[in-house]
């Protein structure tokens, strides 16, 4: 690995952990490689993949590594340099360092259509984006319009344990003190939105059971190590992954 690559990578405020060269992994805030098993990715050999909310591009490059014939990375918000952020620099550096052919387009989620993203895709990735959007149901309908086979959706969820479809609304900084977090749908709401958007089958693939995670959160709450969230919120919130397919 060249000293220039290490020096250039040091100038990027990484969100994703990406192995740019043998033994050199970017210091991302997200342990992205650990997230892969939770997604239950299908065989991507020869598939076309759209990665919505690509940021530094880890999942785009992973899809390419797994044999996808064409991968398009889509983002806008995360590619805009603001504050301590470095915008699209991480994605562009990683693509260059990996010798990747991943394409990139800057389109707002609400503007997604076959015309704006260059057609439809066998697999669409929508990871860690839904709860950041003011209009999540409409966003899923937009994704349905460009999905040929499968949508893989990962999101923050709230109101775990309620069977009735519902969403928690965060008008301020209630979730992680982040003003970009708007909604916490429960799993039933996510599945309902997917089904009402035209997917023939929608189901949760991770976690298989909420019990271990909720037990661990309860212990942390009792010990006072659950962060700034109220103890009730610690118990009812989590992350979940859903697959939605078309016949």
Question: In the structure, what pLDDT confidence band is assigned to residue 228 with cuts at 50, 70 and 90?
Answer: low
* pTM for this entry: 0.91
pLDDT over 70, % of the chain: 90
Please give the Cα distance from 214 to 242 (Å, whole number): 19
| 219 exposure class (CB count in 10 Å sphere: 0-12, 13-18, 19+) | exposed
The predicted pLDDT at position 80 comes to 92
Tens of pLDDT, residue by residue over 111-167, are 999 999 999 999 999 999 999 999 999 999 999 999 999 999 999 999 999 999 999
Helices (H), 20-76: 32-39, 58-65
Residue 233 pLDDT > 90:
no
Higher confidence at residue 226 or residue 138? 138
> What are the backbone angles phi and psi of residue 155, rounded to the nearest 5°?
-155, 160
Average pLDDT rounded to a whole number, residues 170-182: 92
Please give the Cα distance from 132 to 7 (Å, whole number): 32
Maximum alpha-carbon separation in the chain: 55
The predicted pLDDT at position 86 comes to 84
| 211 exposure class (CB count in 10 Å sphere: 0-12, 13-18, 19+) | exposed
Torsion sign across C-alpha atoms 148, 154, 156, 158 = positive
Average pLDDT rounded to a whole number, residues 83-102: 93
- How much is the mean pLDDT over the chain? 92
The predicted pLDDT at position 3 comes to 84
Please give the Cα distance from 179 to 172 (Å, whole number): 6
Tens of pLDDT, residue by residue over 46-86, are 999 999 999 999 999 999 999 999 999 999 999 998 777 78
Average pLDDT rounded to a whole number, residues 28-34: 94
The predicted pLDDT at position 49 comes to 98
């Amino acid at each position: 690995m060249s000293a220039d690559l290490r020096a250039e990578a040091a100038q990027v405020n990484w969100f994703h952990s990406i192995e740019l060269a043998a033994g050199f992994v970017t210091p991302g805030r997200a342990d992205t490689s650990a997230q892969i098993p939770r997604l239950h990715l299908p065989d991507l050999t020869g598939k076309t993949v759209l990665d919505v909310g690509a940021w530094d591009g880890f999942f785009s490059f992973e899809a390419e590594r797994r044999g996808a014939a064409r991968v398009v990375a889509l983002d806008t918000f995360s590619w805009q340099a603001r504050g301590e952020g470095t915008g699209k620099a991480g994605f562009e550096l990683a693509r260059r360092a990996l010798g990747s052919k991943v394409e990139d387009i800057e389109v707002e989620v609400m503007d997604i259509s076959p015309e704006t993203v260059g057609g439809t895709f066998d697999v669409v990735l929508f990871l860690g984006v839904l709860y950041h959007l003011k209009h999540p149901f409409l966003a899923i309908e937009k994704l349905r319009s460009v999905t040929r086979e499968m949508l893989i959706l990962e999101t923050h969820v709230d109101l775990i344990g309620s069977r009735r479809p519902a969403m928690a609304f965060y008008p301020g900084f209630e979730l992680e003190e982040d003003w970009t977090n708007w909604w916490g749908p429960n799993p039933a709401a996510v599945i309902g939105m997917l089904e009402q958007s035209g997917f023939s089958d929608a189901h949760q693939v991770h976690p298989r059971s909420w019990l271990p995670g909720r037990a661990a959160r309860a212990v942390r709450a009792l010990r006072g190590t659950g962060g700034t969230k109220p103890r009730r919120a610690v118990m009812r919130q989590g992350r979940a992954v859903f697959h939605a397919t078309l016949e």
